[in-house]
Amino acid sequence: MTESRLIGPVRVVGAGLLGTSVALGLRSRGIEVILADASPTHVAIAVDLGAGRVAAPGDAPQLIVVAVPPDVTASVVAAELAEFPDAIVTDVASVKAGILDALRGAGADVSRYIGSHPLAGRERGGPLAARADLFAGRPWVVAAHDAITYQRAGAIDDLILDLGATLVEMTPSEHDRGVALISHVPQVVASIMARRFIDAPNAALGLTGQGVRDVTRIAASDPDLWVQILGANATPVRDILLAYRDDLDRFIDALADPTAPGARRRVAEELAGGNTGVERLPGKHGTDKRFTIVVVMVEDRPGELARLLAEVGEIGVNLEDLRLEHSPGRQVGLAEISVLPEAADRLTNELAERGWRIAG
Ligand SMILES: NC(=O)c1ccc[n+]([C@@H]2O[C@H](COP(=O)([O-])OP(=O)(O)OC[C@H]3O[C@@H](n4cnc5c(N)ncnc54)[C@H](O)[C@@H]3O)[C@@H](O)[C@H]2O)c1
Ligand SMILES: O=C(O)C(=O)C[C@]1(C(=O)O)C=C[C@@H](O)C=C1
């Protein structure tokens, strides 16, 4: 059996995409998982997928993960805190400040609650879309607050590390402003871009290449979920959209007369700004397009990186470049190994067979 930090059992409330993915990931590390959902069908599907067992009287979970839609998250968390007075509770909703405020307002025992949010997901919901490795190598924010002790919050850290994600600590409002920029506004932009395709001629759509697919994948996301997310984070999302309106106006003006003196330079400056911005996304620094990057999780133990490098050598794959993403105090680092594209699959498979956890 694989080692885990959590002892369990872990109760997962909401057996949809996120909840069932958490449950599958924990099961793969041998942790007992108890499943609950307003939909008995979702629980039954998740059980069939091997994600855990149905809740039973007398359950005593160590940790509860609430993975329900944002608009019911605070009330479900409050009910779980009341029903299980010895458990630590987290939720995975995409917006954080409003939930903590609602719990405090309702007088819930927030000394056992700390919200969190994995920056990992898919455009499809429900248990059938779940994947055990959904969180591997992804950031998972813990929305820190003062009412919970460091020791109690440790159970959430263990959950995140057991699922192979990277723990990031932020205040709830820092988190909400951050995700407005890197998740919520991109969803809006993808949606309005794809909306243009509704009336487009078939001949134009027949020219679809990879670029448009890259920037519109999330336009297929569930409107019900996103109405809730955008409504709960409206102010920061709106501020960024207002700035985009100015960006669009500059482009529109520059293209009104593209041969006018200075017009080409203005367009070029806007595009170059995009180059500079995209370079700042983690994982994009210095990426050499001749190579494929295999990302391997490395435990923060003496000798682990050396063991990984030795095993890459034994497998007989030439390491073209190596980058280590590691922050002091974190228990897992990510080794980004650049190899020739034709060697990437073999390296991934053989490292996985030797027990290494591959993050991407
Ligand atoms: N989809 C993503 O990419 C993503 C990523 C990160 C976080 N999240 C967050 O995770 C949460 C769940 O999202 P999802 O994509 O898994 O949705 P989902 O629709 O796949 O799953 C939600 C589940 O909650 C159940 N549910 C609804 N109301 C309930 C209630 N009152 N009590 C018990 N169960 C209830 C539903 O039956 C469903 O099975 C949301 O808060 C969302 O913001 C989603
Ligand atoms: O569909 C995906 O790829 C996602 O990761 C979705 C995504 C994101 O924007 O990163 C969307 C909302 C969630 O709150 C977290 C993750």
Give me the pLDDT at residue 270, please.
Answer: 94
Ligand 2 center–CA 221 separation, angstroms:
9
* Whether residues 29 and 164 fall in one domain: yes
Count of the separate structural domains present in the chain: 3
Cβ–Cβ < 8 Å for 273, 220 = no
Which of 218, 221, 229, 230 for a ligand 2 pocket mutation test, highest count of atoms within 8 Å of Cβ?
218
Residue 115 and residue 192 share a domain: no
Residue 269 and residue 332 in one domain: no
Q: Does the Cβ of 216 fall within 6 Å of ligand 2? A: no
Average pLDDT over residues 322-348: 81
Domain-ending residue, one of 251, 279, 307: 279
- Model confidence over 160-184: pLDDT tens digits? 999 999 999 999 999 999 999 999 9
Strand, coil or helix: 90: strand
CA 4 to centroid of ligand 1, rounded, Å = 25
Residue 51 sits in the same domain as residue 77: yes
**What's the confidence (pLDDT) of residue 291?**
78
* Length, in residues, of the chain: 360
Q: Which atom of ligand 1 is nearest to the CA of 124?
A: 1
The C-alpha angle with vertex 255 and arms to 249 and 258, in degrees rounded to 5, equals: 150
CB-CB neighbours of 223 under 10 Å: 8
CA of 359 to the centre of ligand 1 (A): 24
Which domain-ending residue is among 279, 313, 345? 279
Do 266 and 317 belong together in one domain?
A: no
Residues 106 and 188 grouped into a single domain: no
Give the CATH number, domain containing residue 347. 3.30.70.260
Does 37 share its domain with 142? Answer: yes
Measured from the CA of 122, which atom of ligand 1 is nearest? Answer: 3
Whether the Cβ atoms of residue 25 and residue 134 lie closer than 8 Å to each other = yes
Question: Is the minimum distance from the CB of 35 to ligand 1 under 6 angstroms?
Answer: no
Secondary-structure breakdown of the chain: helix, strand, coil percentages, each rounded to the nearest 5: 50, 15, 35
Residues 205 and 132 in one domain: no
Do 203 and 167 belong together in one domain?
A: no
Buried b (16+ CB within 10 A) or exposed e, 316-348: ebebeeeeebeeeeeebbbbbbbbeeebbeebb
Geometric angle at alpha carbon 189, from 359 and 178, rounded to 5°:
55
User: Is the model's pLDDT at 42 over the cut of 90?
Assistant: yes
Q: Is the pLDDT assigned to residue 6 strictly greater than 70?
A: yes
Report whether residue 41 contacts ligand 1, using a CB cutoff of 6 Å: no
Residues 134 and 258 occupy one common structural domain: no
- Between 123 and 202, the more confident residue is 202
Neighbours of 18 (CB within 10 A): 29
Q: Is residue 4 part of a domain?
A: no
Residue 285: the pLDDT is 43
Q: Give per-residue pLDDT as tens, 186-224.
A: 999 999 999 999 999 999 999 999 899 989 999 999 999
* Judgement on whether residues 122 and 29 belong to the same structural domain of the protein: yes
In this structure, what are the phi and psi dihedrals at residue 170, rounded to the nearest 5 degrees?
A: -145, 165
Instruction: Return the SS3 of 305.
Output: helix
Which ligand is located closest to the Cα atom of residue 17?
1
Q: What is the ipTM of this complex?
A: 0.98
* CB 94 less than 6 A from any atom of ligand 2: yes
Domain finish residue from 279, 314, 347 = 279
Which pLDDT score is estimated for 54?
A: 98
Amino acid 283: pLDDT:
63
Look up the pTM and report it: 0.84
**Residue 348 maps to a domain:** yes
User: What is the domain extent for residue 324?
Assistant: 292-358
Q: Can you tell me the mean pLDDT for 26-41?
A: 97
Q: Which of 80, 23, 63 is CA-nearest to residue 152? A: 63
For residues 320 and 180, state if they share a domain. Answer: no
Q: Is the pLDDT of residue 96 over 50?
A: yes
